[in-house]
């Protein structure tokens, strides 16, 4: 019996690494999808695909209270739909969140729920997709972000300083102060929707010139958020007008002080546009099931990785020495893991500010700003070992609860 249990556990361990993310099917529908919200009837024509998002644990942020609240985060299941009209594409994302959190009011400790959808600007080489954490140098991504906020204001909005001055500093009373308040309110922004271009964590920069148009919305009902994103298949940064393209999702729980890196994120997921040819190779790669000896991989990780990386219960390495791998299997593709083992400088995770933990620099920077990882290449491992290691790394991820 004991032996059988062991076999079963081993099998399920291998099994878990075999479960590959299935691709999302984008159905073509008649009409225009550029302007549909999460409650549109258009969504009825297609069914949900599950996408798992995992807690970001590569780096640890420095908010004590937030870290305590998120220490035991489990993975979460998102349900995703996609439809296209041939010119635009829309995504519907539904996830459970017991607490509706909106960043609002006169508070320094209020955080909003939110979601983001990430696309690579190029996926020609499907083996070298951008790093999942907001891209990497030479492999940029576009991130569409929607957060649940109340009214916010632009700093120096339209250079109208007068209407930013506190009303107590105005020489206005009675009706005049009422008028002033109305004027101030008119300058408010009610929708916190932003688009970013990014070549890696830290480099994310807002696209403000309107060249990347999209429409995002989020509505809360019965303990679930539903968020939608509509965007053109082709824009100045993105070309999604192919048979298939990669996509990634992230969600934030404001109630747990989630923001920035405190989030749950998915790996790259394939979107297959139904009825459009091409992209099979990409879909196959993203769905590829890794096979190998996970126990040997674990042994190899202990021998080769654990001196610098922390993961799961293996915490021999000093904190901040290298990216924490506890959820690496959740948000990495097989190709990325393989590339990082063989060629660590191909994607250098920008991680912490270099001043924050100066004894543990993850990379060196030359005078041209080019980053070289301090990790040596493990090309010398034979192919089987490398593969086993990847299979083990893919098994490192939190469970869905």
Partner 1 sequence: MSQRQLAMVMDLNKCIGCQTCTVSCKTQWTNRNGREYMYWNNVETYPGVGYPKKWQELGGGFDSAGDLQPGRVPSIEGNYGVPWDYNHDELASGAEFKPNIEPTWGPNWDEDEGAGDFPQDNYFFYIPRICNHCTNPGCLSACPRDAIFKRDQDGVVLVDLDRCQGYRYCIAGCPYKKIYFNPKISKSEKCILCFPRVEQGLPPACAQQCVGRIRFVGFLDDEEGQVHKLVHKYKVALPLRSDKGTEPNVYYVPPTEAPPKFDAHGKIIEGSNRIPTEELEKLFGSEVHQAIKTVKTEMQKRKDTGKSELMDLLIAYNHEDMFRLDSGYYKEYAKKHSLTPKKLLDERYSAGKNSNTMKFFMPSNAKGGDS
Q: Binding marks (x or -) toward partner 1, 302..321, rule CB under 8 A?
A: -----------------xx-
Query: Closest approach of Cβ 279 to partner 1, in Å?
Result: 33
Q: Is 105 among the residues that bind partner 1 (CB under 8 A)?
A: yes
Among 1, 4, 5, 64, binds partner 1 (CB under 8 A): 64
3-state secondary structure of 265: strand
Q: Is 159 among the residues that bind partner 1 (CB under 8 A)?
A: no
Q: Is 179 among the residues that bind partner 1 (CB under 8 A)?
A: no
Among 110, 287, 295, 296, binds partner 1 (CB under 8 A): 110
Residue pair 45/27 in contact by the 8 Å Cβ criterion: yes
Q: Is 184 among the residues that bind partner 1 (CB under 8 A)?
A: yes
Six-digit token string for 259: 């923001």
Q: Is 25 among the residues that bind partner 1 (CB under 8 A)?
A: no
What span, in angstroms and rounded, lies between the C-alpha atoms of 147 and 187? Answer: 19
Nearest CA to 273 among 135, 38, 20, 88?
A: 88
Among 10, 39, 74, 206, binds partner 1 (CB under 8 A): 206
Among 153, 179, 223, 365, binds partner 1 (CB under 8 A): 153
Nearest 5°: the CA angle 281, 80, 19 is: 55
- Write out the binding residues for partner 1, residues 324-353 only, by CB under 8 A: 352-353
Buried b (16+ CB within 10 A) or exposed e, 290-329: bebbbebbbebbeebbeebbbbbebeebeebbbbbbbbbb
Whichever of 130 and 292 has its CB closer to partner 1, that residue is 130
What span, in angstroms and rounded, lies between the C-alpha atoms of 288 and 7? Answer: 24
Residue pair 196/116 in contact by the 8 Å Cβ criterion: no
Kindly list the distances between the CA atom of residue 297 and the CA atoms of 99, 292, 293, in Å, as whole numbers in the listed order. 39, 8, 6
Query: Closest approach of Cβ 293 to partner 1, in Å?
Result: 37
Q: Is 193 among the residues that bind partner 1 (CB under 8 A)?
A: no
Q: Is 260 among the residues that bind partner 1 (CB under 8 A)?
A: yes
Q: Which stretch, 104-112, 235-243, 291-299, 387-395, contacts partner 1 (CB under 8 A)?
A: 104-112
Residue 362, classified by CB atoms within 10 Å of its CB into exposed (0-12), middle (13-18) or buried (19+), is: buried
Residues forming the site for partner 1 (CB under 8 A): 61-65, 67, 103, 105-110, 149, 152-155, 161, 164-166, 168-169, 173-174, 177, 184, 192, 201-206, 259-261, 319-320, 352-353, 355-359
């Amino acid at each position: 019996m004991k032996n059988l249990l062991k076999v079963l556990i081993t099998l399920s361990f291998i099994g878990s690494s075999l479960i590959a993310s299935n691709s999302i099917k984008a159905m073509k529908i008649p009409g225009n999808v550029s302007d549909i919200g999460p409650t549109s009837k258009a969504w009825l024509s297609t069914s949900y695909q599950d996408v798992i998002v995992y807690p970001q644990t590569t780096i640890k942020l420095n908010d004590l209270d937030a870290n305590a609240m998120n220490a035991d985060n489990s993975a979460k299941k998102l349900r995703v739909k996609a439809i296209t009209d041939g010119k635009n594409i829309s995504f519907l994302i539904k996830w459970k969140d017991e607490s509706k959190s909106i960043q609002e009011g006169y508070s320094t400790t209020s955080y909003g729920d939110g979601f983001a959808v990430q696309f690579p600007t190029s996926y020609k080489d499907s083996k070298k997709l951008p790093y999942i954490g907001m891209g990497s140098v030479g492999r940029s991504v576009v991130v569409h972000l929607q957060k649940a906020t109340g009214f916010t204001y632009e700093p120096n909005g339209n250079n109208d300083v007068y209407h930013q001055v506190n009303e107590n500093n105005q020489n206005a009373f009675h009706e005049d102060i009422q008028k002033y308040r109305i004027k101030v309110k008119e300058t408010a922004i009610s929708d916190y929707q932003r688009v970013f271009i990014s070549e890696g964590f830290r480099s994310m920069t807002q696209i403000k010139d309107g060249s990347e148009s999209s429409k995002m919305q989020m509505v809360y009902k019965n303990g679930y958020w539903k968020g939608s994103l509509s965007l053109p298949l082709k824009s100045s940064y993105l070309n999604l007008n192919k048979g298939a393209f990669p996509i990634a999702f992230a969600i934030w729980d404001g109630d747990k002080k989630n923001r920035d890196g405190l989030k749950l994120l998915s790996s790259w997921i394939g979107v297959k546009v139904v009825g459009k040819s091409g992209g099979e190779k990409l879909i196959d790669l993203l769905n590829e099931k890794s096979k190998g000896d996970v126990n040997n991989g674990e042994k190899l990780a202990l021998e080769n990785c654990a001196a610098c990386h922390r993961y799961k219960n293996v915490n021999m390495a000093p904190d901040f020495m290298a990216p924490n791998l506890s959820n690496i299997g959740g948000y990495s593709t097989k190709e990325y893991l393989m590339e990082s083992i063989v060629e660590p400088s191909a994607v250098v995770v920008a991680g912490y500010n270099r001043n924050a933990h100066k004894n543990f620099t993850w990379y060196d920077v030359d005078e041209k700003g080019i980053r070289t990882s301090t990790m040596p290449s493990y090309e010398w491992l034979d192919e089987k070992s490398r593969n086993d290691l990847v299979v083990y790394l893919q098994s490192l991820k939190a469970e869905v609860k």
